[in-house]
Amino acid sequence: MTLMLLDSASLWYRAYYGMPDTLLAPDGTPVNAIRGYLDMTAKLLAQYKPNRLVACIEGDWRPTWRVELFPAYKANRVDEEGDEAEPDTLAPQIPILLDVIDAFGITVIGIDDFEADDVMASFAVQQPGPTRIVTGDRDLFQMVDDARNVSVIYLAKGLSQHDLVNRAWIAEKYGIPGDRYALFAMFRGDPSDGLPGVRGIGEKGAALIANHFATVGDVIRGAQEGHSALSPNLIKKILEGQEYLAIAPKLVGCATDIALPQVDLGIPQRPKDLSEIYSLQKQFGLGASVDRLIAALGW
C-alpha cells in the first residue's frame, strides 16, 4: 500500500522551467507548468504504482512560527508586496492546475501556517509505509527511514534521471550516517531558504560533526568539553553559534505532528462522467497530458 506524496510546488516549478513556454491555451494562457506537472504525475504513477496519493501544497510558504524564530527565513524570496516572488507566467497557471487536479479527484492537502514539507513529513510519520516523497528539495532527506520504508524520489537531475534516496544514498553523498541529515543541515545551512547555518561551518565541518554526534545538544556538550574530534577553531565556531543552534532543530526540522485531515488517500477511481476533465482539457489546450494521466490512473 505505497503512499506517494507530491511536493506540488517543487513539481510545478520544475515543470515550468523544463517545458517550453510556447505551450499555450487557445486564449494564450501559458500552460507549460500545468502540462509538465500532469506528465510528471503520470510517469510517477506508471513507474511506482502507488496505492495512495496526496498532492501536498503550501498552507504558508513562510509560517509565522518559523519567521518568529528567525525573521530572515526565506526573506530572500519575498517580493515588494511581501509575497513569494514567482515568474509572471507561472502564477496564473497554479489555480488552473489545482482545478484540473481536483477534477481528477486527486487529494490535495495544505495546512494553514505549515509548509508542504511539514505536511509530507507528518504523513510520512503518521501513515504506514511504504512512503515515497516526490520532491526536488533536500530538506525532506531528514525523513528518510529505511525501517519504515520511507524514501525520497529526488528530482534534482530531472524525472528521467531521478535518485531514489535512502539512508545509504545519503551516507554516500554526504559522508555522514544516513539518519543524521537534519543535524548536518542545521550546521551547514541552506542559502535558498535564507538559513545561514553556523557561521564559518561549511559542508566539511558539518559532515565531521554529524559523524561524531547525534544531536545538537551532544555537539554543544562536546565543544564545551573539548571533544577530541573537534579542532579548537571548530569548537570556537560551535560555541559562538549557540544562539542559532538553540532554534535550529525547530527551524530546520520538519513538523511531524500536524493534525492531518481524515480523508481518502486512495488513487482516485474513474468517475462515471469525464466531461469536466475533457472540458478543462479543451479549454486550456492540455492535449495528451490529460490523456497520459487518465491512462496512468488505469481509467
By percentage, how much of the chain surpasses pLDDT 90? 94
For residues 238 and 111, state if they share a domain: no
Helix axes 242-252, 232-240, angle to 10 degrees: 70
* Residue 150 located in a structural domain: yes
Evaluate if residue 227 carries a pLDDT over 90: yes
Select the more confidently predicted residue: 84 or 211: 211
What is the per-residue pLDDT for 192?
Answer: 85
> Does residue 175 belong to any structural domain of this protein?
no
**pLDDT value at residue 149:** 98
Question: Over 70: is that where the pLDDT of 57 sits?
Answer: yes
**pLDDT score of 65:** 97
In a domain, 123, yes or no: yes
- CB atoms inside a 10 Å sphere around CB 206: 22
Looking at residue 247, what is its pLDDT?
97
What is the tens place of the pLDDT at every residue in 85-102? 788 899 999 999 999 999
| Total residues found in the chain within this entry | 299
* Helix-then-strand count for the chain, H and E: 13, 6
212 and 160 inside one domain = no
pLDDT for 81 equals 61
> For position 176, what pLDDT does the model report?
98
Residue owning grid cell 506528465: 39
The verdict on 234 and 284 lying in the same domain is: no
Pairing of strands 131-135, 3-7: parallel
- Res 105: pLDDT: 97
List the CATH number of the domain containing 68. Answer: 3.40.50.1010
In a domain, 232, yes or no: yes
Mean pLDDT of 45-71: 96
Q: Based on the fold, state whether residues 13 and 148 are members of the same structural domain.
A: yes
What does the pLDDT look like over 115-156, one tens digit per residue?
A: 999 999 999 999 998 999 999 999 999 999 999 999 999 999
Provide the β-strand partners of residue 53: 4
11 lies in the same domain as 138: yes
Q: What does the alpha-carbon distance between residue 122 and residue 171 come to, in Å, rounded to a whole number?
A: 24
Per-residue pLDDT at 77: 84
Judge whether residue 37 has pLDDT over 70.
yes
Tell me the per-residue pLDDT of 186-224, one tens digit each, with 9 for 90 and over.
999 998 888 999 999 999 999 999 999 999 999 999 999
Whether residue 131 sits in one domain with residue 189:
no
Its domain, for residue 286, covers: 3-167+255-296
Q: What percent of the chain has pLDDT over 70?
A: 98
Backbone angles phi, psi at 153, to 5 degrees: -85, 100
pLDDT of 201? 96
In a 10 Å sphere around its CB, with 0-12 CB exposed, 13-18 middle and 19+ buried, how is residue 180 labelled?
A: buried
Q: Are residues 37 and 76 in the same domain?
A: yes
Quote the DSSP letter at residue 198. S
pTM: 0.95
Do the domain assignments include residue 39?
yes
Residue 228 burial (CB count, 10 A): 8
Q: In this structure, are 248 and 263 located in the same domain?
A: no
Q: Once rounded to an integer, what is the mean pLDDT over residues 281-292?
A: 98
Is the confidence at residue 19, as pLDDT, over 70? yes
129 and 34 assigned to the same domain = yes
Q: How many domains does the chain have?
A: 2
Burial letters 151-179, b for 16+ CB under 10 A, else e: bbbbbeeebeebeebbbebbeeebebbbb
User: Are residues 192 and 52 located together in one domain of the fold?
Assistant: no
- Tell me the pLDDT of the chain averaged across its residues: 96
Instruction: Answer yes or no: is 174 within a domain.
Output: no
- 112 in any annotated domain: yes
Together in a domain, 78 and 207? no
172 lies in some domain? no
pLDDT of residue 82: 63
Cell triple for residue 64?
A: 509565522
Q: How far apart are CA 154 and CA 163, in angstroms?
A: 5
Co-location of 80 and 198 in the same domain:
no
